[in-house]
Each structure stands twice: as C-alpha cells, then as structure tokens.
Amino acid sequence: MVIAVRQLGPNWYASVMGTAALALGGAALGSGGPHELLVGLWALSLLQLLVLLTARALHWTHHADQARAHLRDPAVAPFYGCLSMALLAVGGGALSLGRDWIGERAAVVLDSVLFAAGTAVGLAAAVAVPYLMAVRHRVEPGQASPVWLLPLVAPMVSAALGPRLVPHLPPGQPRATLLYGCFALFGLSLLATLLMLTLVFARLVTGGPPPLALAPALFLVLGPLGQSTTAVGAFADVAPGVVPAPYAAGFGLLAVLYGVPVMGFAVLWLALAGAHAVRAWRQGMRFAMTWWAFTFPVGTCVTGAAALGRHTGLAVYDWLAAGLYGVLVAGWLAAASGTVRGLRGGKLLAGPRPVAVAPPVPGRTTSGAVR
C-alpha cells in the first residue's frame, strides 16, 4: 500500500469532486433522478474522500520527496486546489443529501467542519500556488493551462456552498457575517480568475491546441463560470432576513444581471471545449485522469443554470440545466469507468517507465581495430 501511493498526486481529488458534482447537480434539478440514488452518490463521494485523505497522508509520510517534487512541478502544484474543493463539495452534499442518511444535526456538523477546512485550504492554495509559480516554477507564457485556475477557483466553491450554513447560525451578526464573508470570497476568486483566464485564452488562440492528453482540461474554465453563477444565486436565496432589505434586493438583482451573461459565455466555452475534445479524440486521445475535467466543471453549470431558473422563472434555464446534467452523467461514466480500468490494470498508480538505453554500437578505430 505504501509503495502504491508513491505516484498518487493531488489530482486524484478531482474524482471526489466529480462524484459529488453528480449528486449535487441531481439535487439541484429536483427531479434529476431517484433521491436514494443521489444520496448513494453522495455517500460514494464521502467514501472516496476518506480513502484519498488516508492515501495522501501515507504519501506525505512515506514519500515526502515525491510530495515536495509535486509542489515544485508547475503542472502538478495547481491541483492542490482540488483538495479544498473536494472537502467543500462533500460538505455541501451533506446538507442537501446526506442529512437523509446521517440526520440533520450530524449533516450540519459535517458540513461545518468540511467547510472550515476546505475554505482554509483553498485560501492557502490561492496564495501559495501563484507564489510558487512566481518565485520557483519559472513558467513561460506558452505553458499557460486551464489547470492554473484550480487554486484560484477554490474560494469560489466556498462562496457558493457557504450560504447553505447561514440558516443554521444564530440570527443577526453570525448569519450576516457568513453571508458577507462568502461574498468577499466570491470577489477574491472572481478577480483572480479573470486575470488568469486572459493568459489561458491567449495561449489557446496564439499557441494552438493543447496536447491531446490535456484537451479535457479546457473544460476547467467552466468551473469559475458555473460556480460564480451558483454563488450569486445562493446569496439571493438566503439574503432576505439576513441583511437589510435594499441589500437583499441587490443580491436578487445580482443573481440575474450577473448570472445570465456569464452563463451565456459558459455555453459558448462548452461548445469550444467540446470541439477541441472531439478533435483530440479523433487524433488518438485516450483515457487519462484529466477526463475528470468532463465532470465537476459541467456540474457547476448545472447548479448555475438551475439557480437562474429559480430567479428568472424561465423554463429555458431548467431545460438547460437538464441538458447539462446529461452531459455530466456521460462525462462521469466515461471518467469513472476509465479510472476503474486503470486501477485494475495498475497503470494509473505505476511510476514512469524507465527509458531503454540502446547498447553501444561496435565501431572501429583509425587503425581498423574494433573498439
């Protein structure tokens, strides 16, 4: 077991996020599937989280050199934001789904613990990873990748899921503080993401398509778009009675005036990312852990579209959420089946293969002797 986890990187938390997104997306639809099935999916995400936390603890304990190498690798370090989002997604599912299994009191406690831990880890990653990129990684503009967004979008997940805890706090200052704190996390993540997104888009249009294995990573751009739309909808849901009436109405306006154009851009990006994924598949792209990018970013758009359906009253957003959920289900099935096959075959946890060295070719000296 100890040897098996040596190659286990922080990117594996994406599988937890994908499963939790499938459960949360179905819950947001209301009729997205049998409720018991959604509760089972949430329980599966909780089990995945516990297994990965244990495995990663073994990784850091017994393979600290590899763990430090991950932090020094600009292609791997941004995935430390996935730990935060995995904690937050499972915690958020505890209130909407897990309470039917473990009870409301236990669900509130579990969500509170995971929200606090996930937010702390997310804020640390949002500072530490860009700092490492600036002073240690020495990355070039041509290396810009949607993966760079992961540590920056983690606080947005806190902003979107934190409002679920507001009604469980005492009225007055505690509720208002949490709501405004989530709004601050929204701004922190949004502005940082906008700065990074310009680099990602510039790299795409000037540097050409990403490598085949990284084509699914283009779906990661959907994460901050759908999650921010979900967040403003969540603010509007809980603001009445928590903040003064003018501000509560302002949150309601923000949910529509911000959410509608951002969701429009998300649909555009989904089409663009989908076209790149189809192109990559035709050129030989095969399964890699990057396929989990087909899941949780799409899940944020499901919850974002569902929030717009609530606040605009337009059926078109309910239809959009249902259609996106179909894409999410297909992405989850593809990523989950590929992961199971890779684990059974041992490929996903295997180390890099040694490079074969060709034997020296006999030659002749100037005298004609064989050397």
Query: Consecutive sets of 10 residues in the chain, 371 residues long: mean pLDDT of each?
Result: 72 95 93 79 96 90 83 88 96 92 94 97 95 85 88 96 96 96 97 93 89 93 97 97 94 97 97 96 93 96 97 96 96 95 81 44 43 42
pLDDT at 142: 75
User: Can you give the length of the chain in residues?
Assistant: 371
Give the residue ranges of DSSP H helices in 212-244.
Answer: 222-238
- The rounded distance, in Å, linking the Cα atoms of 237 and 95 is 15
Helix axes 64-72, 35-62, angle to 10 degrees: 110
Residues in contact with 212: Cβ distance below 8 Å, sequence separation at least 6, in sequence order:
280, 283, 284, 285
Residues in contact with 139: Cβ distance below 8 Å, sequence separation at least 6, in sequence order:
74, 133
pLDDT at 63: 82
pLDDT at 371: 42
> Which string of DSSP letters, residue by residue, matches 150-192?
HHHHHHHHHHHHGGGGGGGSPTTHHHHHHHHHHHHHHHHHHHH
Q: Residue 35: how many CB atoms within 10 A of its CB? A: 14
Handedness of CA 362, 368, 369, 371 (dihedral sign): negative
- The rounded distance, in Å, linking the Cα atoms of 105 and 113 is 13
- The rounded distance, in Å, linking the Cα atoms of 350 and 101 is 37
Residue 308 tokens, joined: 């717009």
Q: What is the dihedral of CA 342, 348, 351, 355, to 10 degrees?
A: 60
Q: Are 151 and 132 in contact (CB under 8 A)?
A: no
pTM: 0.90
Q: Nearest 5°: phi and psi at 368?
A: 100, -10
Distance, C-alpha 61 to centroid of its chain: 25
- The rounded distance, in Å, linking the Cα atoms of 237 and 233 is 6
Q: What is the dihedral of CA 259, 263, 265, 270, to 10 degrees?
A: 160
